[in-house]
Chains A and B, each alone.
Chain A
């Protein structure tokens, strides 16, 4: 009996296996975060060795030994479940402040690690800040993209703007004008037509769900106005979610109206 069969044998449904995998990941991260704090106090390692050790303690379980997104927890998801843990070797990142096609900034990586991804990746806020930076440095060495391009953050227009009725109405108009409904559904009631047609896929050609826009806390890249604006302007590389920076360039302030509309959809 292989490891996968042995793991799945314990559960009646792959979702149970996935939930267990996530629990194990959380437990491991809690245990290892304590060990890491201890290691910092004891000192005596250079930054690279420290980053490697911290990565192996905190990230390897999902992202794999050499950053291919193939750790034991990824294995337990099954080959056709998406989204999968990030493969750092590909150099492609969804959550960035940089234009489509550019790598994230160091701070983007630090922020994702600190905040986690709701429903998918735990927050590593429990690790000391210097440990999180050491992991950022270590993660970057998995792909040459960071040596090739220095990601430059997009500049957000002044804002956010107050969520007035007029602003929300303008945001609603933009939702229609920018064809958001094709993926997220009319009135943001998921799923949209492209999902129904099986056309929304990630870079591995696995089906992925568009974000439920009525559940603000589930937004993977953060749910503050600036987080939402960043996701819309930069796009989520590796998914069909494109950058709307060019489309919003005639009236840059429109991004805040769109954000106000999206935020108005979730119960307060």
Chain B
């Protein structure tokens, strides 16, 4: 009988603080969850470019705010991101390639890494043709490096 009483007391003395710490942990965890953002504000990711005829061979058009450069060559149109894959600085188009001012990464004209700490090549974005015949640059969609699109007029 005494033994039983003892073990009940033991159980309660252990259970009470365990309840406290347990509920504190659950509450703390839910507070941490509170700090994780679920609404991720973003700017519009589509740029209207105009008609394909606006981009003759040799065109280079820099979209500073959207951080992308549009090129046209013999093989077609392509768009390369100017956000450095290292730490997010904006690389600068030099005429031959892209240079990053922050940590010295250098990329060639195709966005491939030449030197520096960048882990990946610059992203290429998808260029789409709208039903109206206008071109649109979709910054939500990336394509493989080297994919150039022909849009015959």
Whether A associates with B in a native complex is no
Residues of B at the A interface (CB closer than 8 Å) are none
Chain A residues at the B interface, C-beta cutoff of 8 Å: none
